Every structure is written in C-alpha cells, then in structure tokens.
Structure 1
Amino acid sequence: MGNRVSASGTSLPGGFPPPRRRRRWLRRVLVTALVGGVVAGGVLRLLPGERPHPAARPPASGPQAQVPTAVVSGLPAALGQLAAFIGQEERRVRAHPRDARAWAVLGRAYVERGRRTAGPADYPRAEQALQTSLSVAQNTEAYDGLTALALARQDFPAAKWYGERALKAAPKRWTAYPPLIDAYTGLGDYKAARACLDKLLQLRPGAAARPAVMARASAVYRDRGWREDAVAQLTDAAAAAGTPAEQADCLTGLGQLAWERGDLEDALRHFDAAARLDPDQPAAQSGQGRVLAALGGTTQAYAAYGAALARHPSPQDAYELGELYEAQGMTAPARAQYAQMMALVRREVAAGVDEDLLTGRFEADHGDPEEAVRRLRAEWQRQPGTEVADALGWALHRAGADKEALAYATAATDTSRGGVRSAPYSFHRGLIERELDLWAPARRHLQEALRINPYFSPLWVPVARAALAALGAQPADAGVPQ
C-alpha cells in the first residue's frame, strides 16, 4: 500500500545502554522544554557508590504532592494538574540544570502526559530529560523513567533491560515491579511476570500503593485465565483508589474485562463511570463506542469514538472506528478512518513507538497480507507475546499459509497451563482449521469464540456465524456465559 509505514520504533537507536558518544553529547546539551516531577517519599536514590548532587531537594508536600507521587509511582495523574506540574519542573531544571532528580521526574512526567493524551511528541522530550538525568548522576529514578518510556513505546526488550537494572539497584522499592511485570508480559514471559508479582506482594507495600498493586495483580490473573480473580482485584483497587484519575483507570479496566466476556451492560456501566470521573480517559470513551456498537446504537458509537479521537487521537481507535464503518457498509468513511490510522501510526513511529503489531493487523485484513507477515515475523523475533502469535497466525492465514498459521494460532489459544480465553483468538484459529479441513476443531473454536464474547467484532462476528453455519452447526447461544 502507498501509505505503508516502513520503520519500527525503538526506545534508543542502536540498542541499550546508550553509546558513550550519546552520553557525552547529553552532558553538553540540556533540554529547554522538559517534563518534571518530584520524587515523593525520600531523597534521590543513587546507585551504589554514587553521591547525591548538592542541588537535590526534599519532596514537595501538600495537595500539589499528589501529582509527583502519581508520576513517580506510575499512577494516572489528572491532565490539568500534570500540565501545571510540568511547567513548574521545566522552570526548575532551567534554574538548576545539575538537579538529577528534577530531570528524572520531568522525563517520567512527559511519559505520563504522552501516554494519557496519545501524544507521542512527549516521548523524545522524555528520553532527553531522562538521559540528561543519568549524565548528571546515575540514579534509579532515571532508569524507572526509561522503563516507563520503553513501555509507552511498546519496546518490551528495552523495558526489561532498564527495569531489571532499576530493580537490581533497589529491590525493596515496590514501584520497580509493576513496569517490569508489563515488560515480561509483552515478551510473552508469563512465568517471569508471575514471579515478579509474587515478589511484589511479599513486599507488602503501604495502603497508598495497594490500588496499583491490586491492578497489576488483576492484569496477571487475567493473562492467566483467572477472570473472576482479576475482576475482584480490580474492583478492590477501584474502591481504594486515591484520586479520580486512578479510579477511572481501574473502572476502565473493569469495563474491558466485562467486554471481553461479552457482558455489555456491565462493560458500559464501568466505561460510563470512568468517563464521568475523568473526561480525559480516552480508553473509556472508545470502550463506550465498542459497547454501543454491539448494542445496536451505531450513531452513539460513532459519537463516542469521535470524541475519543478528537480529544486524544490514537491509531487503535481510528482502526476500530474504520472497521465499524466497514461493517455498516460505509466504504468511504471507513477508508478515511484507515487513512487517519496510518497517519497516526507514522506520527507514533516518528516518536519511537513500535506500531508493527497494529500495522500488521491492518495489512492482514485491509492491505497486503504478505507485508503483514513480514512485519509480524520480525515482531515475533523481537518480542514473542501472545498478541503477536495470534496476529502472525492470522496474517499467515490471510496470505494462504494455513499450515504454518495453525502453529501460531495454537500457541495463542493454548490455555492448558493457564491463559486468557479470547474470542478473537478462537475465531482466528477456527477459520484456519476450517481451511485445513479440520472440521471438528474448527466448529469447536468458532463456537467458543461466540460463547466467550458474541459481539467481539462488528466486522468479523457475521463471518464467524456464517462459517459455523456452513460447518453444519447452529451458532452458539448469544447469551453471556456463566
């Protein structure tokens, strides 16, 4: 396709740690537009053998301290407060360019703003701030920030490298564990993710940290297939959340868990509550669009997706809206959304974000399946997670390589040792098996897809039902499974 993106994003060109020339350059250049934050709860944490810089300062106190606490702990922060805090820290690093803590938290705050607003332009600023912090003094806060940046860029190998370095320096800090769990999950190393969660739980962090810990436990339980435990943990986290932004984040997660099991009313209730608590929660608005479309309210769904894209334009949301238009037979609006998606992907890639997974999915279904296979093979070599296995299997199927596709689809749907049961994954495997004349497994997996979530895609649910009917079976009951 003519608008294909040709480069993957990486956190640091040429790998990590950064080359010495980059470090020397960062010692000479101080960024003037940077994000900031104050480390709550103590002084700058230096690696062994290091000395604190004289410019280091005590943490802020009072209501304003909530923002740096959230930023450093990896928790959601209200955008209005975050913007004001960033301005404050930009002024601070200009006045005190040798304050390693200010640079580190500034970088972390840029990451949070970029993540919250789907604004990748903040990521290069964050990288410069965090590397400048390291050039002033080697410190764990900067490594924490680089871990968060790599996760935001979907660069899981880099996130693992930085996260393990930060954890080794300060193994008793609870904040080092959640991002490392995310890195292991993105690499498909679920055993390491569970072990990391066990160590985090053994630390018994204080009451203020418990919502974040429970939210991370919920994600691990979900990936293991323990949906009820995942819901229980996230429900408790939402109840204990200390800020509206944090609570909205938990409610959005609950909405997504409900959506995955096909419980539309519960999903919409949680997405609505999250959007009311935090209007700057784009995942809640796109979640509303997803559910409203399944309920038949397509006009409302268009509006919800439109609101999310107008406020915080993300490639994933543009892609979902494009498929909704296509499912309704609206070819021109669908093409416009796909074009917007590709423009947003180019913007993300320019800021170092890895969008090969999303681009591969798009190419498989709406572009060039061979290009999808090429991208997703490379992604699988770099970070072989379950999502990549499913996408690569589906791309191979779309390219006509069904025998090879089945191996990846089987890996994505293998729940023998615990694992998420996903309607799209089961659907993909069912269609691949049908092409291989494996009628019984194909029927079983197509039925499973419609049992797990009968509304998983406005574009592909009709295909699943038609394929199941052609196999000589009635579609599974559209009710919510018990």
Structure 2
Amino acid sequence: MESEERRFGVTGRTMRRALGWTMAASAVLGGVLMVLPDDEQKHPVAPAPGSKARARTAVAAGPPATLPDLTRLISDREARLRKRPEDGRMWAALGTAYVERGRRTGVPADFPRAERALRTSLKVRPSLNVEAYDGLAALATARNDFRAAERWGEESVRVAPERWAAYPLLIDAYDGVGDYKSARFTLDRLLALRSRLEVTPPAVTARAAQVYWDQGRPEDAAAGLSEAVARAEEPAERATYLVRAGELAWQRGDLEESLDYATAALHADPAEHAAVAGRARALAAVGRVKEAERGYRSALTMTRSPQYALELGELYESQGRQAEARAQYRALRETVRAGTKAGVNHALFLGLFEADHGSPEKAVRLLRAEWKRQPGLRTADALGWALHRAGKDEEALRFATRATDRAHGGEVRSALYAFHRGVIEYALERHGPARRHLAEALRLNPYFSPLHAPVAKEALGELGEPSDKAPAELEKRRGGASRGARA
C-alpha cells in the first residue's frame, strides 16, 4: 500500500491540494449522510463476521450481495470516510454499494447518494479510477441511461482491458442503445479474457447467457445459467442466477420449471424479491390467483417496483376487478414519479403503460423521444405498439418489424413482441402474417400476459376461418385490449 508521503507528497503545495480534497470530500460526505434514512443513522447494523468482506468483493466484481451485507458495508465505508475522506477507492466502493442497494430495494434516493460518492471519488482520484468508472456505469444502467453507461463502460475497458468486471456493464449499455454489433464484439472480448483467467467468474457466464438468449439461442443461454448457478459461491449470487433461469423458462412458456427455479432462488435467498414476483407470475398462469396476489404484494413490500405493480394490476384487470387494478396503477405512477426525481429514465416503461392503460398519444410522444436517445429493440417494440394504439398502424408496423427483424438484431424470441406485431398486422388486414405472429406468441409462451394472451387466442380462432375480412365482432371485442383499456 502506498504511504501517505508518496500519495500526497511533502511540499506545501501538495499538502494544500490534499487539504482541499479533504475539505471538499468532507462536504460531500456530509451531504450524503444528511440524506440517509433516519433508521440507518440511529440503528447501525452490527457487523457479522465476513459480511463486509463478502459485500466488498461482490460490489467490486459484479456478483450480487445480500441486502444486510450491503447495509453493513455502507455503514462501514461511511464511518471510514469520516476519518479518511481523501480515499478515492473507498468513495467508489461506497457509491457502488449505494447503486446496488437502490437497485435491490427500489428506493431511488440511493442513486443521488451514489452519484455524489462516485463523483467525489473522481475528484480526489481523477486518473485511472476504474472503480469509479464501473460504479458510474452501473449507476447509469440502473437509471436506464445507457448512453452514459456506454461512455463510462468504454472508459473502464480502455483503462483496464484485462479487468473483466466492466465488460458485462458495457454489454448492457450497448444493448440499451441498440448497438448489437458492439455488444457481440464486447462479449467475444469478454469470453477471450475468460479463457485467460484461472477460474471463470460465474457472473461472466451468466452475462454471456443473457446475450445468447438475446441472439435467439435459448439452449446455450440455459446451459450458461446452469453453469453459473452451479459455480456461484454465495447464496445471494446463486439466487440471482436461479431467478434469471426462471425468467428464461417463463419466456419459453415452461411454467413448472419457472416455478421450480423461483422456489429454489427463495431457498437460497428469502429476500430475493425477483424470485417472489417470478413465483407469483407462474402461480397466476396456472390459475392459483389468490397465491399469486399474495406473492405480488409480498414482492412490493420488498421493493418499490413499478413492474410488479403493473403485473398485479393487470392480474386484477383480467379478473374484472377494475378498482383494485386502478389502485395499483396509481401506485405505479407514484413510484415512477419518485424514480424520475432521482434521475431514473422511466420513458420506456411508462410509454408501454400509457399505451395500454392511459394515453396512447402521450405514449407516442415519450417513446419517439426515447427512440432518438436509445434506439434499441425494446424501444422499437414499445413505440410500434403505442403507434398502433394511437391509430397509426402503417408506421407502427415499421417499428414492430424492426423489433423482430434479425437483420436489425431482433433475434430475441419474445411472445410480447410477436403479439404486438401480429395485432398490428391484423389491424392492417394482413391476415397471413398476423396469423403467423400471433401463433408464434402463443407457441413461445401461452401465458405471456393475462390480458393479451386471451386476445391472441381469440384472434387466431377467427383468423383460422377462410375469410379475407376481419370479423366485425372480433374487432369490437379486440378493441378493449388492443386499443386502450383505460385506467
């Protein structure tokens, strides 16, 4: 470890610079601590043996840490920084831990804290600060700001190309901005780097599996996740990979396997809210609605997730319980507003929500702007659907086609994407392609949505008849799901 003399020098000028850093860092630390929740200031968590070390390793290298371990790490780093506010690496560790805690709990107030800590790390250690670059890339990804994540991820890889931790963040960033060629190239670099490591980190294998799924290679994705689960060293890490395996099984329409993975994830980490929600999703699909409702409500006590509120609301709506659905949609909007204030970009999520349950015109405005910023496949699909709901089917089809076109990177097999394209083609009286894509949606996952899956089944039944015209009665029934159920 460097001595204080070597780090800060012994001249008056250097010592004044160090003192300036200390004062600036102390001011920022004060700002960070002032906005901590009261219960964390009054009731610090007593450290458990090895808990901070586990969290520190996880935060530095990418795999998940448990929430209690993260809280202990944060408390420890805050205490240390009061004594050593010039420690850039410690500021980076604190900021990255805030990012992870905010991501896990859904409390967006952690993201501004993370940004202050990470910016302070860069201020006191401005050169070659890969820990801060990684933290800022992770923060930008958590906020759905993939342009910023791309910038910080590229800087981290440029400075330390043999350090694997930044590569998954950069792949996420490229996916978010729709640069799938760069995402594949970065994955190839990561896999080449993996071959030179003595032991391949499970996080690398898990991230490669996600890229395989996006490339339409579900068998390779499943194999990669199985390997990551088997080699995960900590329960929280194992639970995360089990959740991903369950999500992949869900997207394939394998309810039993999805439920098994979610249950196994909860055994590994009972605090893994994504496993609770994943289990609820599968239970709803098999008709165990009351259990599913309890599961979603439990997940929402663990994290303020607009996605879980949406899924619960749509479950209520599918059962005709409109008042309960509207209550979830109101809670969803409140969560989105809080996230937006903390710098989270909810445009994609909110655009899809508005298209289905609010104002399609507002959805189009949101998603056109998002397409200019981050023209990925998810945005293309959402914008196409919003345009359809706003009555602009010709333009809608161009975006829906792009989202499912392999030439533009649309290799991911998504039941929702196929459904959206099929409904748009149906509206344009292109019955052959509509039949093909609606059938694909149900083949991929017959349970993909409690609202949309029944519409797809009904439409296919009507399209199976030898008629060139869409039956008026089906169009009338379909209108409630394809042109605007309103919250």
Q: Shorter-chain TM-score: what band?
A: 0.7 to 0.9
1:389 aligns with 2:380: yes
Are 1:72 and 2:63 matched, yes or no? no
> What are the equivalent positions in structure 2 for 1:15-414 lying under 5 Å apart?
29-32=27-30, 34=32, 64-138=52-126, 139-204=129-194, 206=197, 209-414=200-405
- Secondary structure class of the residue paired with 2:86: coil
Contiguous gaps of at least 5 residues in structure 2: 1-20, 34-48, 467-487
Partner SS for 1:29 = helix
Structure 2 vs 1, CA of residues 294 and 207 (structure 1 numbering), >3 Å: closer, same or farther?
farther
Q: CA deviation at 1:26?
A: 5.9
TM-score normalised by length of structure 1: 0.86
Identity, % of aligned positions: 56
Q: 1:226, 1:306 → 2: CA distance?
A: 34
Shift of 1:208: 5.7
CA contact (8 A) 2:91 2:117 kept: yes
* Greater Rg over alpha carbons, structure: 2
Contact 1:218 1:230 in 2 (8 A): yes
2:436, 2:187 → 1: CA distance?
A: 34
Alignment of 1:425-436 (within 5 A): 425-436=417-428
1:26–1:131 Cα contact (<8 Å) kept: no
Distance 1:472 1:285 in 2: 38
Aligned residue pairs, count: 427
Greater relative contact order (CA < 8 Å, ≥ 6 in sequence): 1
> Match of 2:30, SS?
coil
Confirm or deny: 8 A CA contact 1:33 1:90 kept in the other structure.
no
Could you tell me which amino acid in structure 2 is paired with residue 132 of structure 1? Answer: T
Per-residue deviation, 1:275 = 1.5
| 1:334-384 Cα distance to aligned partner (Å, 9 max, x none) | 000000000000111111100011110111011110000000001111011
Distance 1:224 1:439, change over 3 A: same
Contact 2:402 2:410 in 1 (8 A): no
Cα distance in 1 for residues equivalent to 2:449 and 2:327:
19
Shift of 1:33: 6.5
- Give, in angstroms, the shift of residue 29 of structure 1: 2.9
Deviation sequence 1:257-306 (CA, Å, 0-9, x none) = 00001000000000111112112211111111111110000001001101
Instruction: Give, in whole Å, the separation in 2 of the partners of 1:444 and 1:438.
Output: 10
Shift in Å, 1:421: 1.1
Cα deviations across residues 22-54 of structure 1 (Å, max 9, x unaligned)? x9996673223759xxxxxxxxxxxxxxxxxxx
Rate the CA distance shift 1:282–1:273 in 2: closer, same or farther, 3 A.
same
User: 1:34 and 1:68, CA in 2 relative to 1: closer, same or farther beyond 3 A?
Assistant: farther
Gaps of 5+ in 1: 1-22, 36-60, 475-482
Question: CA separation of 1:371/1:243 partners in 2, compared to 1, >3 Å: closer, same or farther?
Answer: same
State the alpha-carbon separation in 2 of the partners of residues 62 and 451 from structure 1.
47
Between the aligned partners of 2:52 and 2:330, the Cα distance in structure 1 is 41
Contact 1:26 1:128 in 2 (8 A): no
Counterparts in 2 of 1:64 and 1:390: CA distance versus 1, 3 Å: same
Give the whole-Å Cα distance in 2 for the aligned partners of 1:104 and 1:267.
36
Q: Is the 8 A contact 1:93 1:99 kept in 2?
A: yes
- Is this contact kept in 2: 1:116–1:280, CA < 8 A? no
Shift of 1:64: 3.9
